[in-house]
Chains A and B, each alone.
Chain A
Amino acid sequence: MTEFPKTPPRYSATFTPAINAEIRRAAASGIYDIRGGGTKRHLPHFDDLLFLGASISRYPLEGYREKCATDVWLGTRFAKKPIHLDIPITIAGMSFGALSGPAKEALGRGATEAGTSTTTGDGGMTEEERGHSKTLVYQYLPSRYGMNPDDLRRADAIEVVVGQGAKPGGGGMLLGQKISDRVAMMRNLPKGIDQRSACRHPDWTGPDDLEIKIMELREITDWEKPIYVKVGGARPYYDTALAVKAGADVVVLDGMQGGTAATQDVFIEHVGMPILACIPQAVKALQDLGMHRKVQLIVSGGIRTGADVAKAMALGADAVAIGTAALIALGDNDPAYEEEYQKLGTTADAYDDWHEGRDPAGITTQDPELFKRFDPVLGGRRLKNYLKVMTLEAQTIARACGKNHLHNLEPEDLCSLTIEAAAMAGVPLAGTNWIPGRNGGF
């Protein structure tokens, strides 16, 4: 009998093994998946853009010799005391509670040594971060955990958080495992309960109220502090315009690659837009209002390298913020702990159950035994090194484009490798002068 070749097993592109595993997990547990971090799906990103570099039409600057400045002023619109940073790479808001006290200290140390700012999070201001951060941005969040006028006054800037890229429209969650005595005290909550952070501010709704809220914060701090407004990447043109109208000094725009301490996987993966699609819309809103460079734009969500920094700034950002990358620089997801990641059912570089508080690297935990593993001095040094490298990388690219300041990078320095990225970023497809979607709409 003749044997015919058999059709090999074929996986469905719709019901993939990963999808099926999640269906089985949901069926067995009856609860949705909660995790930390940002989206893990493939998205159009800065990797899809390239710099053109100088040629006959423009000349480059000499590396190591000709100056390429990197400093940035933030909060020049209304604040009596705007912030001046040496580099345009800031540390994004991450809460004490989500992170250990030593991890917050390390962020402050590294940022300060590199000449930039760090940011509090949804848990109030800790002495570790205030003491070790030369420039500290104090987040004003819907939960108002730990909020008080003394910390407002000793902050260097105030960031009114409307949303974040990982979950625009969503609140926060800190599960009971991480509510230690200290976290509970700072948040006025019983120890060990699941702590929910509201998705909306308790005492204002909409842009008109926000304008009054910002005015109140300015009055309380005697108009000294720059006021940032942070939004998740949802409707960046209108959100930016409304933040400007409400009186923001700085708009912080966080794409869906931005991380969170914990939220539903379905939220992280299916709500919001990639940062590449957000930046041009925000810049256009600022330009339409005549406020580009007057109200500064900080962008975040998936910034990893100096190339990403340079590309974000070429699209019109004044500065960037990093969160996940900063944690990795500190030592998060380090393969040195692979054996322990395996015990948790995961592997280094994929660990995202930050909410469970069992981080082998001792960073996203409140377990004193685990966070003893983390040395804040060494962590700070690693972060400083990483920030310096990113800055040098961005300068290298800027000089190659003939720019003597990172802020002089421009969309004309870029081309795109894909039609999607060309349309989102508003730069031509490589080798063409075609910017998809530019004939009408934005």
Chain B
Amino acid sequence: MQSFDLGKEGLRALNSALHALKGQTNMTDWEVINPKGAHAIAAGVDAPVSITVHGSTGYYCAGMNKHATIHIKGSAGPGVAENMMSGTVIVEGNASQYAGATGRGGLLVIKGNAASRCGVSMKGIDIVVHGSIGHMSAFMAQSGNLVVLGDAGDALGDSLYEARLFVRGSVKSLGADCIEKEMRDEHYSLLEELLRKGEADGKAKPEEFRRYGSARKLYNFNIDNASAY
């Protein structure tokens, strides 16, 4: 286990050491202590290593992550795992706004609640939130899956493209062009797998969720839809 005291050694030294890791490294286990809400912790990692952050993080922790498993034993500031490509990020506490923004792959698990714009513009990432999510979540979400065990705030899935949204609790309101859709067998199977990977299979069952997706009415400009624009 490589232990890194962020308070003493600083962010640049941490990220520099993590970026130096290549795919075949045997230094696969890292822990970061004293994060003290620093920004960009473990941003840009590109190796299949495990990093545990003991405490809460600031903006953009695990930004653009590739391959790594990053475990935040605290809460995460805005933009956790933004534009993640692959790997796994687990937040034990809550996540601030823009969690998983524009993520293109991998899995983001938030065991608490997520604030507004969770999964904004997501492009292939899977996000599992054990708690609730704030307003404008999955805005312009393009692809990937967002699973919410709790409730969703206003304007869920506004201007959605092809991302799939699964919510167990209430949805305060749906955004433009977002509608409830039928849960078919393939969705139950997918959800079962996502709940298992998101460490939530003991908390919820697939049949308790509703599915939301794009009505695809705004995909091509039509003046008759002007009130929606």
Contacts and interface: CB of A to CB of B under 8 A. Distances in A.
B98 A219 contact: no
Interface string A205-227: 00001001101100111110000
A418 B50 CA distance: 66
Interface of B: 11-12, 15-16, 19, 39-40, 43-44, 46, 58-60, 63-64, 66, 78-79, 82-83, 85, 98, 101-102, 104, 117, 120-121, 123-124, 139-140, 142-143, 159, 161-162, 219-221, 223
Nearest to A148: B85
Contact of B44 (A143, A176, A220): A220
Interface in A301-340: none
Interface residues of A, number: 33
B117 to A, nearest CB: 7
A196 B177 CA distance: 14
B59 A220 contact: no
24 contacts: A29-B223, A144-B83, A148-B85, A149-B44, A188-B104, A188-B124, A193-B219, A196-B159, A198-B140, A202-B117, A202-B121, A202-B139, A202-B140, A203-B60, A203-B98, A212-B39, A212-B60, A213-B60, A215-B39, A216-B43, A219-B15, A219-B43, A220-B63, A222-B16
A144 B43 contact: no
A437 interface: no
Given A148-B83, A219-B15, A202 B44 contact: no
A204 interface: yes
Q: Tell me the interface secondary structure of chain B in the complex.
A: loop
A31 interface: yes
Contacts of A222: 15-16, 19
Contact of B79 (A30, A189, A204, A223): A204
Q: Closest 6 A-B residue pairs measured CB to CB?
A: A220-B44, A193-B219, A203-B98, A203-B79, A203-B101, A149-B64
A198 B98 CA distance: 15
Interface in A166-202: 175-176, 187-190, 192-194, 196, 198, 202
A209 B161 contact: no
A189 B124 CA distance: 11
A31 B143 contact: no
A291 interface: no
A219 B59 CA distance: 13
A188 B143 contact: yes
A147 interface: yes
Contact of A220 (B64, B104, B161): B64
B161 A31 contact: no
Given A190-B161, A219-B15, 5 more contacts: A190-B162, A192-B220, A209-B78, A219-B11, A219-B44
Contact of B121 (A144, A204, A209): A144
Given A193-B220, A203-B79, A212 B59 contact: yes
A202 B120 contact: yes
A236 B19 CA distance: 37
Nearest to B19: A222
B220 A176 contact: yes
B166 to A, nearest CB: 20
Nearest to B218: A194
Contacts of B102: 144, 147, 202-203
A17 B72 CA distance: 65
A149 B64 CA distance: 6
B19 A196 contact: no
B142 A188 contact: yes
A192 B221 CA distance: 12
Contacts of A193: 161, 219-220
The interface centre, meaning the residue of A192, A202, A212 with most chain B CB atoms within 10 A of its CB, is: A202
B123 A188 contact: yes
Contacts of A176: 219-220
